[in-house]
Amino acid sequence: MYEEVLTTEDFSTICRTCLIQYDAETLLDIQGIYLLSGEVKLMDILMKYTTIEESETYPQHICTHCLVRTEEAYTFFEKCNESNAILSQITESVIKEMETEDRVDVSNLRAKVKTKQSLKL
């Protein structure tokens, strides 16, 4: 919890994500930042992975420390999602293969039963 009291007058000099006060010149405009070589908008990342929403009434800046941490977190979460998708594909493939083998086994059993039945006749 923050011991000092923040007011809306401080909004031009605090980071939206950590609420630390900086010189206004060292803060970056939260709306104009794209990460990963311009692929992803910072605000989209914040809204996807946090409870932060776009709001003109809240601080509109981010410090460089939080910016770096956001990019690292985004990269980590995307890698986790990518890894999970690969694992899902692998397990789905194995399950389909097992189902196919089970169908083949059932077909072979039916053929053997028919053969034995015809031999008895």
Give the chain's radius of gyration (CA, Å). Answer: 29
Task: Report domain extents, the chain.
Answer: 8-120
Kindly report, residue by residue over 38-82, the tens digit of the pLDDT. Answer: 999 999 999 999 999 999 999 999 999 999 999 999 999 999 999
Is 25:12 a contact under the CB 8 Å cutoff? no
| Residue range 8-120 in CATH 3.40.1800.20 | yes
Q: Are 9 and 40 in contact (CB under 8 A)?
A: no
Structure tokens at 38: 């311009």
Q: Which helix (H) or strand (E) holds 42?
A: helix 42-49
C-beta of residue 59 within 8 angstroms of C-beta of residue 88: no
pLDDT in tens, 27-48: 999 998 999 889 999 999 999 9
User: Annotation-wise, does 80 bind a ligand?
Assistant: no
CA distance 57 to 63: 18
pTM: 0.70
Q: Token pair of 53, please?
A: 């929403």
